[in-house]
Structure 1
């Protein structure tokens, strides 16, 4: 019986992917390396200049991307739920198909960023400059929020944050 219990515990522990952050992968990205599909859960990338990185499909949930420069970076298909990205620059970055639920892009520069198919539920774009962002639909923006300082492409609007 004891042997069976230990075997069951071992099998369960190996059955699914690890959900904790990967410190080695985070260190690589902090040093400026691309890391598609990496586990960067709760990564601290605050204040970094990481231009042109490929982080497509990466798990960046609860990561801190504040006050950084991420021009031409790809976050396509990534998990960016609960990301803090205030006061950052994402010129021409790709968020195609990314999950940005409850992310904060307060005061962020998003000119040329591509949001095609991105999930923006609860995303805060207060003060964000995104009038030249592409791939945005009114349906996406209806799930997000902003303020009077948020700039959007012509014809689009965003609800006020509460």
Structure 2
């Protein structure tokens, strides 16, 4: 193999071994400190127990983040990647999830009163025991892609398949 070709092959293999979208520790620290961070890479962020209201996390990548037991009222998650998020017992009153991807997210026991879900992807999301009675933007067709249980509270006229 020619030396130039060898260098090119090694460079491609080295780049392939690196995670393409690794988390950004500095951005995670900013959010843990209560700062907004729209568009940030918070992949797998450990934010459990965080109390930070009114943040702007629009367009942020929160995939596989731990949001369990957080208090994030009035937080903007518009167009954010929340796939596979663990948000057990989180409080998200009046938060905006419009256009967010909540695929396979777990909001078991979460408080989501007044939250907006217009255009959100809910495929595989678990809302067992969640309080969504005053949430907006929920449609029956989107809820049919999610699941819940007998303790899930929804706006009148809507139902959710059992998990």
Match of 2:145 in 1: 143
Partner Cα distance (1:87, 1:42) in 2: 18
Could you tell me which residue of structure 2 aligns to residue 83 of structure 1?
A: 85
TM-score, with structure 2 as normaliser: 0.92
Cα distance in structure 2, aligned partners of 1:116 and 1:46:
26
User: 5+ residue gaps in structure 1?
Assistant: none
TM-score by length of 1: 0.93
Greater Cα shift, 1-10 or 103-112: 1-10
1:40-59 residue pairs with structure 2 within 5 A?
40-59=42-61
- SS, match of residue 142 in structure 2: helix
In the alignment, the residues of structure 1 paired with residue 92 and residue 122 of structure 2 have an alpha-carbon distance, to the nearest angstrom, of 16
Aligned residue for 1:19? 21
> Match for residue 133 of structure 2?
131
The residue correspondences of 1:99-110 to structure 2 (distance < 5 A) are: 99-110=101-112
Q: Give the aligned partner of residue 3 of structure 1.
A: 4
Q: Which of 111, 114, 125 pairs up with 2:113?
A: 111
